[in-house]
Amino acid sequence: MRHAYITATGSHLPGPPVDNEGIERHIGVVSPAASRLGRLVLRQNRIRTRHYAMDAEGVTTTTVARMGADAARDLLARAELSPSAITHLATATSQADGMVPGLASGVHRELGLPPLEIASCQSVCASAMMALKNAWLQVAAGEHDASLVVGAEFSSRYFRPGFYLETDTIDAEGRLSGDADFLRWTLSDGAGALLVEPRPAVHGLSLRIDWISLRSFADRFEPCMTGGIACAADGARTPWSHHPSAAEAARRGAFTLRQDANALRAMLPVWLGELMRLVDEGRIGIDEVDWFVCHYSAHSLREEMIRLATRAGCMIPEDRWFTNLYEKGNVGAASLFLLLDDLLRSGRLTAGQTILCAVPESGQCLIGYARMTVVEN
């Protein structure tokens, strides 16, 4: 295998930043009770601004694929190769514009590139690691010389009141079920892109991908984050397709995006355990990490995480953490790429530094870690 490098990055965040007071102007007001819960969730996640791909009337002019393509165009404006040199495209998202076909087809069409190989990775946040690993291995194996990786999310389309009204997700007093309400205040929209090549960029810094480790723990966890599945009060889950009609599936709340925030606590030791495995196997030393790029959103878990990491000798000092969560929001499968884009453009990297990326996914519990080295040609 040959080395592969991230040689360019790009991002697209739709519209102006929206502060906490402005959220309901975009995703709408469901009920006073839902607004109260929102303030509580915002205190916990500490996000101050985010972006939405719909205006104050809930009208949108973009799509997941278009946002992905916009991020790719931002990247191409700074890349050292022609768009036509790209022969591989890997995408990551929690939900493409439609259930069929995959997002990569849509991004390919929007970009207007010649025929190329594609891979559409669909999961939740960690689909970013799946797409990046796909691109890295394609380039490292010599199959492609330029792979474009795109992550894009349009979560806010699920959050408008019209997606809850007259469904089982909302009760007679107008209260949303907690697993649905939580995400309204957590997720927002945008896209990020990376370019992977078998050589570092000539101008500026690149990131050599040393390894990517991705592991699922669905053997012991029930689904924690769901879309397209109706969840009854007794916990029973029914896929949308098992309802007698599409209208009935919608009434039962199958098209609500949900997350059981309480299940995160049980996943935390498993996510950290993976880091411990990588340390024990000698793939990363905690002291060598200059930048810890962790996609996280649950501040309430922070204390427990520090306790577990510290006693296992795996605590990376907080001054080495890099985040843009508070300004750019939690953009799911796009977050890792938005983080790397900001870090590369921050002017704070120097050649030889080691970056450890972490993307935990609560969907049904998985985690991806990646080690990268900053290189200068």
Q: How far is the CB of 293 from another protein (least distance, A)?
A: 22
User: With binding defined as CB under 8 A, does residue 273 bind another protein?
Assistant: yes
Q: Distance from CA of residue 229 to its chain's centroid?
A: 20
Indicate the residue among 203 and 307 with the shorter CB distance to another protein: 307
Distance CA 228, CA 308 (A): 34
Query: How many residues contact another protein, by CB under 8 A?
Result: 20
Which residue stretch of 92-100, 178-186, 213-221, 295-303 sits at the interface with another protein (rule: CB under 8 A)? 213-221
Distance CA 298, CA 111 (A): 35
Question: Of the candidates 270, 320, 323, 345, which one interacts with another protein according to CB under 8 A?
Answer: 270
User: With binding defined as CB under 8 A, does residue 263 bind another protein?
Assistant: no
Q: How far is the CB of 323 from another protein (least distance, A)?
A: 25
Question: Of the candidates 15, 160, 217, 238, which one interacts with another protein according to CB under 8 A?
Answer: 217
Which residue stretch of 78-86, 274-282, 336-344, 355-363 sits at the interface with another protein (rule: CB under 8 A)? 274-282
The conformational region for residue 82 under phi > 0 = left, psi -120 to 50 = alpha, else beta, is: beta
Q: How far is the CB of 313 from another protein (least distance, A)?
A: 3
Indicate the residue among 277 and 283 with the shorter CB distance to another protein: 277
Q: Can you tell me which residue has the tokens 């949108």?
A: 60
String of contacts with another protein for each residue 306-325, x by CB under 8 A = -xx-xxxxx-----------
Please enumerate in sequence order all residues whose Cβ is within 8 A of that of 203, keeping only pairs 6 or more positions apart, or say none. Answer: 80, 377
Which residue stretch of 60-68, 148-156, 265-273, 334-342 sits at the interface with another protein (rule: CB under 8 A)? 265-273
Write the CA distances from 243 to 166, 170, 194, 252, integer angstroms. Answer: 16, 19, 40, 9
Task: Characterize the bridge pairing of strands 366-376 and 354-361.
Answer: antiparallel
Distance CA 92, CA 43 (A): 29
Question: Of the candidates 132, 272, 325, 339, which one interacts with another protein according to CB under 8 A?
Answer: 272
Q: Which of 337, 340, 296, 343 is nearest to 131 (CA)?
A: 337
Distance CA 5, CA 14 (A): 28
Indicate the residue among 132 and 214 with the shorter CB distance to another protein: 214
User: With binding defined as CB under 8 A, does residue 277 bind another protein?
Assistant: yes
Question: Of the candidates 279, 320, 323, 327, which one interacts with another protein according to CB under 8 A?
Answer: 279
Which residue stretch of 145-153, 155-163, 168-176, 216-224 sits at the interface with another protein (rule: CB under 8 A)? 216-224
Task: Characterize the bridge pairing of strands 5-12 and 147-153.
Answer: unpaired
Indicate the residue among 22 and 273 with the shorter CB distance to another protein: 273
Which residue stretch of 141-149, 204-212, 214-222, 290-298 sits at the interface with another protein (rule: CB under 8 A)? 214-222
Please enumerate in sequence order all residues whose Cβ is within 8 A of that of 48, keeping only pairs 6 or more positions apart, or say none. Answer: 19, 20, 326, 327
Distance CA 140, CA 196 (A): 10
Binding region for another protein (CB under 8 A): 217, 219-220, 222, 266, 269-270, 272-273, 276-277, 279-280, 307-308, 310-314
